Copies of this chain bind each other. A is one copy, B any other.
Amino acid sequence: MQTRVGVVGAGLIGRAWAIVFARAGVPVRLYDVDEQALAAARDALRHSLDDLAASGLIGAPQEVLSRIRFEADLTQAMADVDYVQECGPENLEAKRQIYVQLEAAVASTTILASSTSGIAASRFTDHLQHPERCLVAHPVNPPYLIPLVEVVPTPDTTEAVVERTLRLMEAVDQAPILVRREVQGFILNRLQGALLNEALRLFRDGYVSAADLDKTVKHGLGLRWSFMGPFETIDLNAPRGVVDYGRRYGPLYQAVDGERGGDDPWEANTLTRLDAERRHELPAAQLAERQAWRDRRLMALIAHQRALGND
């Protein structure tokens, strides 16, 4: 690949993206306005790459690191890149300013992709000279373990830019999807939110403990969903596919939908009670340890899936 990638912001997401591109052989310029953040990023990256190598998910960590150039000068960093992954603050004004600086630093055809999870790209690119090369490429954290990337064009984005972005993501072993129009929360968080809203209501109304709700997903729903989507799952769960399934179970799901909603499942009271049950399961002092466990489990799951091949 001839692609060179610029990553703007050396925080958690920017560093993770740097790993995604560099492990696929792509030269990366990792830019941050803060020199100290850059130095810290180098150490953090070395640590993450060693973990990935220990899990057998990458080969030579030093070689991957050598593809990442650390840059504190935006113009110099972005001089020769054809794709930028912007990982700046989740703040509309800050993004509008960053994009003006970016446009001045890159060629007119360089793709400017934002990692934003919450702001439609049209809102911070409509003032540019070339908004047609801007879009969202929203990762899940950390993208080097969870491959999904939501590619979301603005009304201005050209199809060619969308295509180049989808192909680049596939080339670096991510799993991109196309979100055809801008929508709040994109796809992943809307699905997660729909399930969480119902989960919180069931918990709040005393039907189930927090631990049992988690068991319902990890020992039930989540197993198939880790290798099939929800549509394929129901397609295979009725003798004649999705239409047959809808005839059998649609009325139940529609009824459940109708009797809920309106009230706010995210009220402080509910969250405080949920927190009490969670802290009983996992004391606050052990959160970091459990996050490390989660990452090990994710790495083991990805290694397991790779061993099975892409069927």
Q: Give chain A's interface residues, CB within 8 Å of chain B.
A: 118, 140-141, 145-148, 150, 175, 177-181, 183-185, 187-199, 202-203, 206-210, 212-232, 234-237, 240-243, 246, 249-258, 260-262, 264-266, 268, 271-272, 274-275, 278-279, 281-282, 284, 287, 290-291, 293-294, 297-298, 300-302, 304, 308, 311
Contact = CB atoms under 8 A, between A and B. Distances in A.
B232 A214 contact: yes
Contacts of A241: 275, 278-279, 284, 287
Nearest to A177: B212
Contacts of A203: 231
Given A185-B252, A250-B271, A300-B308, 4 more contacts: A195-B230, A197-B253, A222-B225, A225-B226
5 closest residue pairs by CB, A with B: A214-B229, A250-B266, A193-B253, A222-B225, A148-B220
A284 to B, nearest CB: 7
Contacts of A251: 266
Given A140-B220, A199-B231, A294-B224, A252 B208 contact: no
Contacts of A219: 146-148, 175
A225 B202 CA distance: 18
B220 A242 contact: no
Identify the interface centre among A197, A207, A216: most chain B CB within 10 Å of its CB: A216
Contact of A194 (B197, B236, B308): B197
Contacts of A194: 194-195, 197-198, 256-257, 260
Contact of A231 (B237, B261, B274): B274
Nearest to A294: B236
A265 B254 contact: yes
A222 B220 contact: no
Nearest to A270: B246
19 contacts: A145-B223, A177-B208, A179-B207, A185-B253, A189-B253, A194-B256, A194-B260, A213-B229, A214-B230, A218-B228, A218-B229, A224-B298, A227-B301, A228-B294, A232-B281, A242-B274, A243-B274, A261-B261, A293-B311
Nearest to A252: B185
